[in-house]
Amino acid sequence: MEEKNLTEKASLELISQMITNSRRKLEDGNGIPFLIWGYATFFVSLLVYYFVNATGDYHYNILWFLIPVIGSIGMFISEKSRAKHAGHVRNYIERVIGNIWLVIGIAALLTSVGASFVRFPVLPLMLLLLGIGTTITGLTIKFKPVIISGFIGMASCVVPFVLEGNGQILVFGVVCLIMMVIPGHILNYQGRKRHV
């Protein structure tokens, strides 16, 4: 592309082509945050289940706070490597999704801190929050697997209520695996397919 004047038709074609090119970028690599947070939640759930079950000491619930630590480090590394390998671009949808998860993240953190002082069923509430975030993300990017998995996550919030004991920690981990990791892999697969 150079600094030259255009015909009117060529102008319209250029505008359309540039807008389409920028739009494609929107879906690429969208699965990575789902994978980072999904795997972090799943493995930390297994860790908490193991220690609480083996020792009977509920102080091991402090390990849940490993999720924001692992997730934040993962996101930082992923963003840095993405910016290194390709030009940086941020579109409106990415900003909206970023804000949704920022609010959900703060709500989840506040709830977890609250649960450290007062005992209440925190896991169903977390599933509901994560399910809401996932469903809104799916609806925003118009991607069915994410919408469906988000609804599954929301619906699953009743399971830990029904289930007694430490088993609900495992259920929480498995639901997060279904709700975040599976759609994350599908999103990445679709992204790779577009580039072939």
Q: How far is the CB of 10 from other proteins (least distance, A)?
A: 8
Cβ atoms 43, 77 nearer than 8 A: no
The binding site for other proteins (CB under 8 A) comprises 1-6, 8-12, 14-15, 17-19, 21-23, 25, 80, 83-84, 86-92, 94-95
Using the minimum distance from each CB to other proteins, give the nearer residue, 13 or 121.
13
Q: Closest distance between other proteins and the C-beta of residue 74, in Å? A: 18
Report CA-CA distances (Å) from 135 to 8, 56, 58, 138, 165: 42, 35, 32, 5, 28
Of 98 and 114, nearer to other proteins (C-beta) is 98
Q: How far is the CB of 127 from other proteins (least distance, A)?
A: 31
Q: For residue 54, give both structure tokens.
A: 């083996």
Could you give the CA distance from residue 167 to residue 157 in angstroms, rounded to a whole number?
A: 14
Would you say 8 or 57 has its CB closer to other proteins?
Answer: 8
Q: What Rg do the C-alpha atoms of the chain give, in angstroms?
A: 20
When the beta carbons of 90 and 119 are compared against other proteins, the nearer one is: 90
In the complex, minimum distance from the CB of residue 196 to other proteins, in angstroms, rounded to a whole number = 19
- Distance, in Å, from the CA atom of 175 to the CA atom of 158, rounded to the nearest integer, reads 12
At residue 22, the 3 state secondary structure works out as: helix
